[in-house]
A and B are shown apart, each in its own frame.
Chain A
Amino acid sequence: EDQVTQSPEALRLQEGESSSLNCSYTVSGLRGLFWYRQDPGKGPEFLFTLYSAGEEKEKERLKATLTKKESFLHITAPKPEDSATYLCAVKTPAAFDKLIFGTGTRLQVFP
C-alpha cells in the first residue's frame, strides 16, 4: 500500500536555528513529490515539486531534496513567519491521478 510518513509531528525552533523536516514514502512508482505549506485556517500553498532522486529545489530559506526513499525540507535560519504546517505528498501511477498526503509537520519558530 502506498504510504507517506512525515516526521517529526511537531518542531519548535528558535529564530535562526536551522533544521530539517523528513518525508519518507513507500509507493509503487513515484511520479512526483510535492511540498506544501499550510497556515491555520487556510488551504495548502504549493512550495516545490521533485521528480527524481538527487533533485533539489530552493526558495528563500527553504531547500527540498529527494532520495529514492525520502525527501527532506531543510529550513535555514528560520524566522517566525516560517511557522506553519508543512505537508508532503506524492503522486503514483495509479488508475487515477491523486496526491497521497502525509499528516504534516507543525513548525513553530520563536523569536
Chain B
Amino acid sequence: NAGVTQTPKFQVLKTGQSMTLQCAQDMNHNSMYWYRQDPGMGLRLIYYSASEGTTDKGEVPNGYNVSRLNKREFSLRLESAAPSQTSVYFCASSEVKNTEAFFGQGTRLTVV
C-alpha cells in the first residue's frame, strides 16, 4: 500500500534549469495538491487539482506549472528554476472536499 509516491527525493538544479516533479497516488482520490514547505512559513499551496482534467492556482503559483495526467498522477514543473524555489515540495491527495489529505515523502530541491 504505497499511498502517495513522489520522485525524485532529492534534486539540485542550477538557476535557469527546468525539471518536473512527479507524484502518483494509488488511493483512487479525486483531489491532488502540491505544497512547498519553508522554515518558519508552514506549508503553502502551489497548485491543486479537484478532479481529473482540472487544475487551479493556490497561494504561491508563480514560476510553476502543473499537469493532471490522469486520476493517479499530478506533476509539478519548474520551467526556469530560481534560488527562491529552493524548498521541500510535498504532493498530497484527498478523496473529496473536507476530508483529510495524505502526503508523500517530499522532494528536497536546491537551486544554486
Which A positions have Cβ atoms within 8 angstroms of B? Answer: 4, 31-32, 34, 36, 41-46, 49, 51, 87, 89, 91, 96-99, 101-104
Contacts and interface: CB of A to CB of B under 8 A. Distances in A.
Contacts of B104: 43
A19 to B, nearest CB: 22
A96 B98 CA distance: 11
Contact of A103 (B4, B31, B40, B106): B40
Contacts, number: 60
A98 B48 contact: yes
Given A97-B48, A103-B41, 5 more contacts: A43-B90, A49-B99, A89-B43, A99-B43, A103-B42
17 contacts: A32-B99, A34-B100, A34-B101, A43-B4, A43-B92, A43-B105, A43-B106, A44-B103, A89-B43, A97-B48, A99-B101, A101-B42, A101-B44, A102-B42, A103-B40, A103-B41, A103-B42
Given A31-B97, A44-B90, A103-B42, A96 B105 contact: no
Contact of A96 (B48, B90, B92, B102): B48
